[in-house]
Amino acid sequence: MATYYISPRRAMARQMRRSDVERPAVHIPMDVAVNGDDYLISAFVPGVSAEELQIEILEDVVSIKGEFPVVEDVEEINYLRRERPTGTFARTLRLPTSLNAAEAEAEVVNGILQLRVPKAEEAKAKQIKVKAK
């Protein structure tokens, strides 16, 4: 005999997935790395210009939003396959430490967003001297 426990959080998450909450239509792949006191985030955003991206940093959360342009249909063309993404996208990352949004830098190079976000001063490791008595 097996006993199953139903978590109220899991049931709520399942219900939210079924609801009509507006979700981004496209998922963008990204890499996150740590380099010393900086987080380096690379996101795949082909065809999106730097001006069309929205990046928000609040405490330890980075949000990236944008929209892939919709390619206008030409009536004479019958597509056999359409795989290029169109529509809105949004990614939100929670990083392990607080961030310094004032010193963050972002650029788009060859369709890849490169975002550097330094750790906040209070999150950086500090060395202290030990006194012997």
The pTM of the full predicted model, rounded to 2 decimals, is 0.70
Q: Is residue 6 part of a domain?
A: no
Q: Is residue 16 part of a domain?
A: no
106 in Cβ contact with 48 (< 8 Å): no
Q: What is the mean pLDDT of each run of 10 residues along the chain (133 residues)?
A: 58 56 73 94 92 93 91 77 86 92 94 94 76 83
Q: Is residue 78 part of a domain?
A: no
The CATH number of whichever domain residue 61 belongs to comes to: 2.60.40.790
Q: What's the burial of 32, exposed, middle or buried (CB within 10 Å: 0-12/13-18/19+)?
A: middle
92 in Cβ contact with 61 (< 8 Å): yes
pLDDT at 10: 63
Rounded Cα distance between 107 and 20, Å, is 34
Domain count, the chain: 1
Q: Is residue 1 part of a domain?
A: no
Q: Is residue 9 part of a domain?
A: no
pLDDT at 17: 58
